[in-house]
């Protein structure tokens, strides 16, 4: 069996995070989105093809030519619209697992369906079918048709973009015409396939994780952190450190005296947590970071080579690489009217469905001492704030 991973899109809803990194390379709980899904499928396939385009070299340089000894090759998508247009030029006589990289699926769910002998598409029952591609099925879950964003109710089984086809799908894709939107539509390919070959709808049993917007990174980390049942400490903890739930501490990292950890925290390599720091509630800190004296961090994802100086308070935030946050930096993460935080994404105001959300700080940012921030603000690459500045 061969796996095809669709990883060419840039992930524009995740900007500014994807300004400098392709979405599949965003890390969740110690692994990239790509790695999470490859971990679930590699035992079942003989070869992996990854369809790439946006910042393709970053993916290729990271994974190289194999994943745990399963060979990887890369297929560059051309300028034709719709990611599936790329698979027109892939050749294979094997059965195919085709997987979109937008979501992280439960390993046990994927194991069950990969061992299933029939051809299938992964689905989920949804309450709002009008925003999905919806499968119509018969009494034995055989797919009869897929309808994209139906205007009236046809069924409630949403397409999750994970499939097992026979190799005929590659020939079918070569001959589908452009749609009214001038795209090569997945619906046309699947409808042509089910007219000729059996395809069953298999419903996911476990929760899966969508990473569409920047704040989804926090939700995704929390999904894995909340499964930590005990601490995993691979390096150094000084005396008088308090751990109230669990912590994962990788090699060359240190928790210094009087650090206080509450709930689940994940700390990567070569990171130092200085005295009197308070880490809590689903925080992930990556490698080569320094969290200085008397800092409080809650529900954050803090990436590589970032320093957070003394007496700073950071909540519900995504902070990227090479950031210097100087002392007394304080965030506000709740609106005064106590309503959900709304965020401008692609010139459209999107409801995050979160009451608490603070800030994205992108690469190479420096904040002035005693800077403050209003709820949900973005500081772009290579920026700085002045001392005492309020980020509005």
Positions annotated as catalytic residues are 310
Contact 217, 274 (CB under 8 A): no
Q: How far apart are CA 135 and CA 137, in angstroms?
A: 6
How many residues are recorded in the chain? 392
Name residue 124's beta-bridge partners.
158
Give the number of other CB atoms < 10 A from CB of residue 288: 18
Q: How far apart are CA 377 and CA 343, in angstroms?
A: 9
DSSP per residue, 81-145: SSGGGGGGG---SS-EEEEESSEE--HHHHHHHHT-SS-EEEEEE-S-GGGSEEEEE-TT-BEEE
- What φ, ψ does residue 359 adopt, rounded to 5°? -150, 150
Q: How far apart are CA 82 and CA 310, in angstroms?
A: 48
Q: Tokens for 213, please give them.
A: 């917007």
DSSP per residue, 284-320: EE-TT-EE-TT-EEES-EE-TT-EE-TT-EEES-EE-
Q: List C-alpha distances in Å: 377 to 235, 297, 327.
A: 35, 17, 19
Q: List C-alpha distances in Å: 92 to 46, 197, 270.
A: 12, 17, 44
Give the number of other CB atoms < 10 A from CB of residue 31: 14
Peptide bond preceding 330 in cis form (omega within 30 of 0)? no
3-state secondary structure 69-92: CEEEEEEECCCCCCHHHHHHHCCC
């Amino acid at each position: 069996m061969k796996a095809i991973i669709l990883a060419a899109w840039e992930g524009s809803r995740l900007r500014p995070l994807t300004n400098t990194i392709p979405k599949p390379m965003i890390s969740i709980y110690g692994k990239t989105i790509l790695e999470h899904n490859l971990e679930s499928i590699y035992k079942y396939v003989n070869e992996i093809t990854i369809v790439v385009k946006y910042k393709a070299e970053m993916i290729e340089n990271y994974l190289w030519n194999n994943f745990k000894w399963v060979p990887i090759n890369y297929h560059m998508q051309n300028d034709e619209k719709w990611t599936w247009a790329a698979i027109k030029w892939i050749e294979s006589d094997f059965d195919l697992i085709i997987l979109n990289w937008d979501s992280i699926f439960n390993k046990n769910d994927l194991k069950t369906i990969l061992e299933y002998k029939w051809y299938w598409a992964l689905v989920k029952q949804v309450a709002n079918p009008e925003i999905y591609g919806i499968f119509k099925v018969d009494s034995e879950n055989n797919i009869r048709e897929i309808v994209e964003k139906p205007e009236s109710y046809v069924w409630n089984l949403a397409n999750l973009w994970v499939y097992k086809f026979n190799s005929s799908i590659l020939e079918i894709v070569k001959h589908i015409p452009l749609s009214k939107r001038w795209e090569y539509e997945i619906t046309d390919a699947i409808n042509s396939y089910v007219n000729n070959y059996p395809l069953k709808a298999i419903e996911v049993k476990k929760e899966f994780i969508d990473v569409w917007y920047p704040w989804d990174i926090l939700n995704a980390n929390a999904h894995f952190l909340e499964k930590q049942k005990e601490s995993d400490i691979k390096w150094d903890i000084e005396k008088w450190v308090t751990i109230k739930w669990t912590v994962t501490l990788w090699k060359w990292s240190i928790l210094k005296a009087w650090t206080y950890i509450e709930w689940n925290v994940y700390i990567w390599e070569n990171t130092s947590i200085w005295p009197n720091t308070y880490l809590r509630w689903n925080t992930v800190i990556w490698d080569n970071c320094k969290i200085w004296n008397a800092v409080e961090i809650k529900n954050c994802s803090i990436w590589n080579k970032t320093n957070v100086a003394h007496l700073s308070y950071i909540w519900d935030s995504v902070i990227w690489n090479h950031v210097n946050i100087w002392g007394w930096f304080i965030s506000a993460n709740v609106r005064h009217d106590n309503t959900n935080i709304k965020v401008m994404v692609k010139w459209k105001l999107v409801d995050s469905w979160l009451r608490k959300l603070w800030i994205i700080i992108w690469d190479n940012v420096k904040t002035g001492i005693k800077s403050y921030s209003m709820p949900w603000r973005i500081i772009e690459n290579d920026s700085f704030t002045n001392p005492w500045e309020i980020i509005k």
